[in-house]
Chain A
Amino acid sequence: MTIEAPPTAATIVLHGRGAVGGVAEGEALVTGETISGWGGVNPREGTVIETRHELRGVSFKDKVLVFPGAKGSSGWSAMFHNCRLMGTAPRAMVFTTMTTKIALGAVVMRIPAVTDLDGDPLELIETGDWVRVDGDRGTVEITKRG
């Protein structure tokens, strides 16, 4: 990977609460819509399959998933747990609404997850931005694309 941001690029740092510790970075995949786990994703490809979802057909594999949070079936954690086993999980998650589904899902995916940020990640992060998520310090560092 050579997408490392140049040191001069403008970066934004958001501060919040780490839900799951660890540090990871990657390209952001942003949606303003909540995501269903069971019945909403295909774990073999890491794609969203919900019929009316704006990310339908798009894969979150190896992305930093930035979204409001989880919805739908209680199979959310198990479905994303399967994504981890199948190698299609996101690298990290940034979300705005805490639920039991997303908390447990982030824990069993074992990826850094940050929430309760001091700026709206859904406004400030765009798909394609480079994002570093520090679940230990509860920070999200955004390097704008281009």
Chain B
Amino acid sequence: MILTDEEKAMLDGAAGPARQKAMDLLVRYGEALGAERFVLTDSIAGVPGSSNLFLADYYKGRGPNLYETVFSLFDLDADEVVEVPRVVANSCHLQGGLDPVLWREQGMSEAAWRHQMQDEAEVEAHGIKVLKTCTPYIAGAEPKFGDHCAWMESSAVVYCNSVIGARTNTEGRESTSAAMLTRRVPDWGFHQDDFRRGTHHVEVEVPVSSLMDWGMLGYFIGDVVQENIPVVTGDVRDAGLIRHKHFGAAAASSGGVELYHMVGITPEAPSLEAAFRGRRPSETIRYGAPERRRTYDILNSNGTSPDVDYVMLGCPHAALEQLEEAARLLEGRKVSANCSLWIFTSRLIKLQADARGLTRAITEAGGLVMTDTCSAIGQAIPKGTKVVALDSAKQAHYLPAIMGIEAWFGTTADCINAAVTGRWSGALS
């Protein structure tokens, strides 16, 4: 790689041992990619230095301070523990492993809670915003069009690239932590104009309007295009933040979609030609009624028993409007004694929900509003759960595999109905 004088100095240790290790890792990473240089970034989202109890135990005794030990040996992939200074880039911490208040309900141990709180204090002390969410773009870290970013969290990455038009690759834990100390990431992939051109054309021939339909379309597209860049045209309606959030999360789960264009909707796709940057699509894919039906069936292929004992909403973390909708759907109703309802959101959105009385309304109906984590990330489900109902295609993709449970996928209303009755009655209309 071609390094600037400042980068060479960091690599030589002139800016301290932590930045030297960080540059060393970034150079190895850049060389693996085949990148020629670094790009400057000042919007970084990762999970710096955080550890679960396995990592904490694995690294115990390797250094005087556990946080800096994990940061050195795991995040920076160094062979020795170094002192970790405050970060120099605008940095935030994404989701964590448990709710800071409702951890007992989630079945977490006091040791795990105590450890997470210690990590959080260290994150704060190192100058990193504790956003604790997979949706930083609506909770305190909002880049602008064209900004170079270094983000983790596939659903946030695809949102950042596609909806905001900022530029990030799907970074990992190690690269984001290193970038926080250096403000550098390899200039590769989505940082470059040509990489952002669409590759596959998806023609939508059935109306896609509801949140569920946006999620299914994303799931279908990810499965078909894998890590390519789809350009969507046709009958896509009611575009908005929440629909994009579910669409992108789904496309990044069934495939590896990190950027999509929707003609007339997303900022780099004023026209079909602009989205493809004047080139031809390598493939044209149709999404009609049979594809929609097939996608629905796949997302429900892990469900057999209609007896639902858990309803999980908020993947990616719920926006305020989604908490409003849940509270409205629960009005005058109670969650069944045989079922639990957990809704996950960010700390920032929960403050708003608290102020509007939404948290109280949901709690009085028998549900819980949780922050920081989700059932998949935290492996947090109510004890004894066998069958879950979900309104997120991403969660329907991951949760049955991670927790070995059955899952139903449907609308938010289907899910709230299941929470109230304890029975799944969703169907494709």
- The answer on a CB contact under 8 Å between B172 and A74 is yes
* Smallest beta-carbon distance A47→chain B, Å: 11
Contacts of B256 in A (CB 8 A): 34, 70-72, 99, 101
Would you call A97 an interface residue if the criterion is a C-beta within 8 Å of the partner chain's C-beta atoms?
yes
Would you call B174 an interface residue if the criterion is a C-beta within 8 Å of the partner chain's C-beta atoms?
yes
Residues facing B in A52-74 (CB within 8 A) are 52, 68-74
A68 to B256, CA, bound (A): 12
* Smallest beta-carbon distance B188→chain A, Å: 7
Interface of A is mostly: mixed
- The answer on a CB contact under 8 Å between B32 and A107 is yes
CB contact under 8 A between A72 and B253, given known A104-B172, A104-B174? yes
Partner-binding segment picked from A4-12, A23-31, A76-84, A119-127: A76-84
* Smallest beta-carbon distance B172→chain A, Å: 4
Residues facing B in A77-103 (CB within 8 A) are 77-78, 81-82, 85, 97-101, 103
- The answer on a CB contact under 8 Å between B401 and A99 is no
Would you call A46 an interface residue if the criterion is a C-beta within 8 Å of the partner chain's C-beta atoms?
no
A20 to B29, CA, bound (A): 9
The interface bits of chain A over 20-53 (1 if a CB of B lies within 8 angstroms of the residue's CB, else 0) are 1000000000000010000110000000011110
CB contact under 8 A between A107 and B400, given known A77-B173, A81-B74? no
Contacts of A17 in B (CB 8 A): 34
* Smallest beta-carbon distance B28→chain A, Å: 5
Contacts of B175 in A (CB 8 A): 77, 100, 104
- The answer on a CB contact under 8 Å between B401 and A51 is yes
Partner of A107, one of B25, B227, B298: B25
- The answer on a CB contact under 8 Å between B252 and A72 is yes
Partner-binding segment picked from B151-159, B269-277, B286-294, B411-419: B151-159
Would you call B33 an interface residue if the criterion is a C-beta within 8 Å of the partner chain's C-beta atoms?
yes
The interface bits of chain B over 250-261 (1 if a CB of A lies within 8 angstroms of the residue's CB, else 0) are 001101100000
A70 to B255, CA, bound (A): 9
Most chain A CB inside 10 Å of its own CB: which residue of B157, B256, B302: B256
CB contact under 8 A between A49 and B174, given known A71-B255, A72-B154? no
Contacts of A100 in B (CB 8 A): 33, 169-172, 175, 186, 188-189
CB contact under 8 A between A76 and B32, given known A71-B256, A97-B227, A107-B77? no
How many pairs of A and B residues are in contact by the CB < 8 Å rule? 109
- The answer on a CB contact under 8 Å between B226 and A77 is no
* Smallest beta-carbon distance A50→chain B, Å: 6
- The answer on a CB contact under 8 Å between B226 and A75 is no
Contacts of A117 in B (CB 8 A): none
Contacts of B29 in A (CB 8 A): 103-104, 107
Contacts of A75 in B (CB 8 A): 152, 172-173
CB contact under 8 A between A113 and B170, given known A49-B401, A100-B175, A108-B77? no
- The answer on a CB contact under 8 Å between A74 and B157 is yes
CB contact under 8 A between A34 and B33, given known A81-B174, A100-B169? no
Partner of A39, one of B153, B186, B402: B402
B residues with CB within 8 A of A: 25, 28-29, 31-34, 47, 54-55, 58, 74, 77, 151-154, 157, 169-175, 186, 188-189, 226-227, 252-253, 255-256, 298, 302, 376, 397-398, 400-402
The 24 listed contacts between A and B (C-beta, < 8 Å) are A34-B226, A39-B401, A49-B401, A50-B401, A51-B302, A71-B226, A72-B256, A74-B157, A74-B170, A75-B173, A76-B172, A78-B74, A78-B172, A82-B54, A82-B55, A98-B33, A100-B171, A100-B186, A103-B33, A104-B172, A107-B25, A107-B28, A107-B32, A108-B172
Q: Which 4 A-B pairs have the closest CB atoms?
A: A77-B172, A71-B256, A103-B32, A74-B152
